[in-house]
A and B are shown apart, each in its own frame.
Chain A
């Protein structure tokens, strides 16, 4: 063989003859030309194409991203360098979006369930057949029982357009979104009733002197720019108060940790307010100018002495006083966080009211470092499905209950109606991006509700638990493959140059297989149901261009601007409108027979031998949504149950013991987990990450990993004002397996 053998000539030689030549010798001689698989990855920063317009939806904070593409394949996601929100950063989940995109378990084709609901057998069908079936089944139910016989469970960006179609054009009020009814709706309504403005999480933590968190646990909850505000606030010297039964990631950074008895938060807030009022340590000018019904509230909460709250909350009176004095010393520059996930105990509306009222008496609305409403860009056109001819009363209206609901209908009312047929039957179910098995308490009721349906259709990106109950299962585009969200905002630190941004989600990868976007799927169903003339936009691009047009923008323009349009912000982000008001006493609540001033309503305590089940977040997961992501699961694939060290000693449990959990109704977890023994939790509660223990075997990584905390929540409690679910009123005992 020639010494300087080229690969091409070797190929010739090898293919002609040379059958008996030992290969390793040839390889050694031919070394300069032999191509080996690259042993060292080249990195994603070179020889890649950068695609702008990514808008994350691993969670719902929606950070702005760019995608790095090599050989037509997305290999990395990074914060869009133009972002004034998340900037160059992404969280673990955002970084792991690549693995969601190419997850081999993802839904690929429309499918028909030829098995049964809950034990599906999937048969691939054409889109034509799938859409025809959906329309025919929906139409049959509507024709027989009316539009109110359809219910819908949406979640996420993709579901907004179909949600509007079913709600406005078809006309069913039976729409229940987990982001409201099992998450933040109760907080929203509490603030809306108190201050007439939606709260979001508009607290200027970066510039606060005190940050007050009640149940918020930044570090476990990673809403990126929000956590940046929090970290900067701490760096700038803010004092941090964390009220939590558990020594959370935030408690670990706190100056005062208040390990409160679960369920008693409102008592604490009332005592703080009462103490501040009794000692004239509140913002008298602010209350006089903006407050309404202050005297009524002051009078009504008089009973809440420090000592009474100390007893109820199981914390020292001196600590309550310490917190109150700290807040008073720094008012109005105190960030009282409204919370996000807030459907806890069924007395949550009152807690939200108390938080808003506490913010009010501290004058902590509109001031630097306090609650400051975001001054986002205006002008995005609201392109919506038109209202249909038929308007049906919602269940809460018919039943005259829950007079302060977030958008949609309380989930429990829908389940009740479906299960009883009263006041009307509900026989068709559209599920769009929501995994009801993991979002709703009492899984048996959810399954019964689905079993009695004539038709269940499901649109999702992954074979989540709920997809097992679909008759027709449709593969959606993920957030990396479509246009379905416009996001506006400001720079994350109000102390920096005032800027605003407008961005729209644009695909960083083409949809694989037969996945279709939300606009296409909805329009195709609409046409088949006879609403073709009502379609507001023929394509997702058209819809977004029409919405952006109001702000003088288009998708093409945004793309040319690097995915994000930046414009000057308002001159002064602080201050309040003249008509801003804080309803310490609410006439509206009074009128409907609810407590008009913030009121503490006790909840049941754990029975002997049981412990309250608290569930929260892993920073590596967005509850169940990310449970099949190979990178995230490699980092965190189970949810150990936190048990107080003294309690563990009494129960004979050691760190790492394997246990199952059994709740007060005798329901046992399908899977097991391990015990994490720690002093960082009260003795009357145990804690675990929510979202684990998927029951869908089609999730080859996530199936049966850890314990499904939702499966243990069977006893229902519903917040009376809002109809939102309480998810922390169940109790468990631990059964040692090994």
Chain B
């Protein structure tokens, strides 16, 4: 199974509802986005005037460059396929590609916020929310999850649910009968270029040549180069910070703990 998202730009009217619905669903801070709509044009193309939209989101790529750059300490994780009940145990850092549904996910708890994955993504699909920095991280990476928690409950991704034009079609690209697969047969394509061929599963369909030409100009033209040094430096700096902290932050931290205990008590009541 491989989840994927078709964007039908014939239908898309550029209303940006997908962006805002996602913000509400996942409490994305106003200045960040898990998905986006770029308004393109009006511009002249070889096929005439075009004015269209690039509704983008994490492409949950077949070969995601964000995964191998993660420097977080790997753990063994057992993943279970909800449908077949099969399990696979893998060694993963704080981000990985799900072996069953092909989506790329993040374990926020173990993310150290170094930003390597964000920098590695040619589609700029990730952000670091520095407001979530804690003693083990500089913040937390975040991005589209294809709304896996919603999908697990039988719901559509939030952006799909709110789309008035039914321009977003989500489903299994491995299933030849799925609606996304029909679009692939009709010619839906990912935003790839000579240098960027990482198997995006967000695919775009438009029947106007001018629109597609303009849209394809948004395809990234080069793979970002991410130094692994950066992740290591982050880990080192966090360790150093924690050593400093140990010298007397009990007052502050103890206060936080007491608050959490009070909240805990409230929950129980």
A residues with CB within 8 A of B: 7-8, 10-11, 14-15, 18-25, 27, 34-37, 39-46, 75-79, 86, 88-96, 98, 218-220, 222, 224, 227-228, 231, 234-235, 247-249, 251-253, 257, 619-620, 630-636, 678-681
Chain A residue numbers with a CB within 8 Å of B230 are none
Contact between A11 and B261, CB atoms less than 8 A apart:
yes
Chain A residue numbers with a CB within 8 Å of B109 are 36, 39
Contact between B14 and A249, CB atoms less than 8 A apart:
yes
Minimum CB–CB distance for A252 against chain B, Å: 4
Contact between A77 and B264, CB atoms less than 8 A apart:
no
Complex Cα distance, B15 from A690, in Å, reads 17
Given A25-B246, A45-B155, A78-B162: A11 in contact with B257 (beta carbons within 8 A): yes
Given A219-B15, A678-B41: A22 in contact with B247 (beta carbons within 8 A): yes
Contact between A23 and B264, CB atoms less than 8 A apart:
no
B residues with CB within 8 A of A: 10-11, 13-17, 19-21, 23-28, 30-31, 41-44, 49-52, 108-109, 111, 132, 134-135, 140, 147, 149-150, 153, 155, 161-166, 211, 242, 245-247, 249-250, 253-254, 257-258, 260-261, 263-264
Chain B residue numbers with a CB within 8 Å of A89 are 17, 161-164
Among B19, B51, B245, B254, contact of A247 (Cβ-Cβ < 8 Å): B51
Contact between A92 and B49, CB atoms less than 8 A apart:
no
Contact between B16 and A619, CB atoms less than 8 A apart:
yes
Contact between B43 and A679, CB atoms less than 8 A apart:
yes
Chain A residue numbers with a CB within 8 Å of B52 are 252
Residue of A nearest to B259 (CB): A35
Residue of B nearest to A30 (CB): B257
Contact between A679 and B49, CB atoms less than 8 A apart:
yes
Complex Cα distance, B137 from A34, in Å, reads 16
Complex Cα distance, B41 from A714, in Å, reads 31
List 20 extra interface pairs beyond A21-B250, A44-B25, A96-B20, CB under 8 A: A11-B261, A15-B258, A22-B247, A23-B245, A24-B246, A35-B263, A41-B25, A43-B150, A76-B21, A77-B24, A89-B161, A95-B21, A96-B24, A228-B165, A235-B10, A247-B42, A252-B52, A631-B30, A680-B49, A680-B51
Complex Cα distance, B19 from A634, in Å, reads 11
Across the A-B interface, give the 7 residue pairs with the lowest CB-CB distance, nearest first: A680-B42, A22-B246, A219-B13, A252-B51, A35-B260, A95-B20, A41-B27
Chain A residue numbers with a CB within 8 Å of B43 are 678-680
Residue of A nearest to B140 (CB): A39
Contact between B260 and A95, CB atoms less than 8 A apart:
no
Chain B residue numbers with a CB within 8 Å of A23 are 245-246, 249-250, 253-254
Complex Cα distance, B264 from A43, in Å, reads 21
Minimum CB–CB distance for B52 against chain A, Å: 7
Residue of A nearest to B267 (CB): A35
Contact between B17 and A45, CB atoms less than 8 A apart:
no
Minimum CB–CB distance for A560 against chain B, Å: 24
Given A43-B149, A619-B16: A222 in contact with B164 (beta carbons within 8 A): yes
Contact between A45 and B153, CB atoms less than 8 A apart:
yes
Chain A residue numbers with a CB within 8 Å of B254 are 14, 23
Chain B residue numbers with a CB within 8 Å of A248 are 51
Complex Cα distance, B52 from A253, in Å, reads 9
Chain A residue numbers with a CB within 8 Å of B108 are 39-40
Complex Cα distance, B35 from A92, in Å, reads 13
Minimum CB–CB distance for A495 against chain B, Å: 16
Minimum CB–CB distance for B48 against chain A, Å: 10
Chain B residue numbers with a CB within 8 Å of A94 are 17
Contact between B21 and A90, CB atoms less than 8 A apart:
yes
Chain B residue numbers with a CB within 8 Å of A231 are 11, 13, 164-166
Minimum CB–CB distance for A384 against chain B, Å: 34
Among B23, B111, B135, B249, contact of A631 (Cβ-Cβ < 8 Å): B23
**9 A-B pairs whose Cβ atoms sit less than 8 Å apart in the complex:** A22-B250, A75-B24, A76-B24, A88-B162, A90-B162, A228-B164, A231-B13, A249-B13, A252-B49
Contact between A91 and B25, CB atoms less than 8 A apart:
no
Complex Cα distance, B31 from A647, in Å, reads 35
Chain A residue numbers with a CB within 8 Å of B162 are 78-79, 88-90, 95
Minimum CB–CB distance for B140 against chain A, Å: 6
Chain A residue numbers with a CB within 8 Å of B153 are 45-46
Contact between A680 and B41, CB atoms less than 8 A apart:
yes
Chain A residue numbers with a CB within 8 Å of B26 are 41, 43
Complex Cα distance, B42 from A681, in Å, reads 9
Residue of B nearest to A14 (CB): B254
Chain B residue numbers with a CB within 8 Å of A79 are 161-162
Complex Cα distance, B147 from A505, in Å, reads 30
Contact between A14 and B24, CB atoms less than 8 A apart:
no
Chain A residue numbers with a CB within 8 Å of B165 are 227-228, 231
Complex Cα distance, B20 from A632, in Å, reads 8
Chain A residue numbers with a CB within 8 Å of B211 are 252
Minimum CB–CB distance for B205 against chain A, Å: 13
Chain A residue numbers with a CB within 8 Å of B19 are 92, 635
Residue of A nearest to B161 (CB): A88
Contact between A630 and B263, CB atoms less than 8 A apart:
no
Contact between B44 and A251, CB atoms less than 8 A apart:
no
Minimum CB–CB distance for A654 against chain B, Å: 15
